[in-house]
Homo-oligomer: A and B are copies of this chain.
C-alpha cells in the first residue's frame, strides 16, 4: 500500500500543491496537514483532557504510518497542547486554574501589543471596518443575541491583530488562542450577564482609543479587558463547580 492503508478517507485534498511561481514558495507541505488535522482534532475537544493520545488509532484515522504522526506529536507538545511522558506516550495537557490564569495574561499581553501596533498602522478604512463591527456587536448586545455578539467580538479582536501587521505576533496569538480554546473557556464566557454590560463598555473605550490612535492607552485597556474576561470566566467556572 502506498500512503493510505485503506479507502478510510475520501480523496480529501489530492489537488497538486499550488505551484505558484513565487520565489521561495510557501510550503505546500504534505505532512503539515497531519499536524493541522491533529491539532484541530485536539483543540476541538475530541480527546478528553488528560486522556492518552492513541497513536495506532490515529494512524488508521488519518491513513498514515506512525512516523509522521509522531513528528506531529512532538510539535504539538512544543506548542503546549499535549505532554510527552517518558515511555508512556502522549497525553492531552490538563489546564489547571493556575495555568489558565497564566494563559489569559499572555493573551492579554499579546492583545495589548496588537492594539499598540494597530494604532501605528491602522488605515481609515481599517478603522471603519472595526467601527462597523463594533456597532453590529452593539446591535447584538441590545437584542441579547449572545451568538452574534460573540462572533463580532471575536472579529474585532482578530481585526486588531490583523491590523498590527506582524506575522510573528499573529502566529503566537493564534497558538495561545488555540490552547485556551481547548480548555473551552472562551466559548461560553459571556453567558454571565453582569459581565456583558461591562465588556460592552470596555469595547466603547477600545474603539475610542483606536479612533484616537492612542497606542499606550489602548494597550492598557486591552490588557485589562482580558483580565476582566478571565475573571468572569473564572467566576463562571466557580459557579459550575458548585
Contact = CB atoms under 8 A, between A and B. Distances in A.
Q: Give the dominant DSSP class at A's interface.
A: helix
A108 B168 CA distance: 12
Interface string A20-42: 00001101111000000000000
B168 A80 contact: yes
B83 A27 contact: yes
Contacts of A46: none
Contacts of A216: 216, 220
B86 A17 contact: yes
A8 to B, nearest CB: 24
A99 B219 contact: no
Interface stretch (A66-74, A196-204, A205-213, A228-236): A66-74
How many copies of the shown chain assemble into the complex? Answer: 2
B102 A106 contact: no
Interface stretch (A109-117, A140-148, A149-157, A185-193): A109-117
Interface residues of A, number: 43
Interface in A60-98: 67, 70-72, 74-75, 78-80, 83-86
8 closest A-B pairs by beta carbon, nearest first, are: A109-B113, A71-B74, A102-B166, A216-B220, A75-B78, A102-B168, A106-B168, A71-B71
Interface of A: 17, 24-25, 27-30, 67, 70-72, 74-75, 78-80, 83-86, 99, 102-103, 105-106, 108-110, 112-113, 116-117, 166-169, 171-172, 176, 216, 219-220, 223
Given A102-B169, A112-B113, A219-B219, 19 more contacts: A17-B86, A25-B85, A29-B86, A30-B86, A67-B67, A71-B74, A74-B75, A75-B78, A78-B78, A102-B166, A106-B166, A106-B172, A109-B109, A109-B112, A109-B169, A116-B223, A172-B172, A216-B216, A219-B223
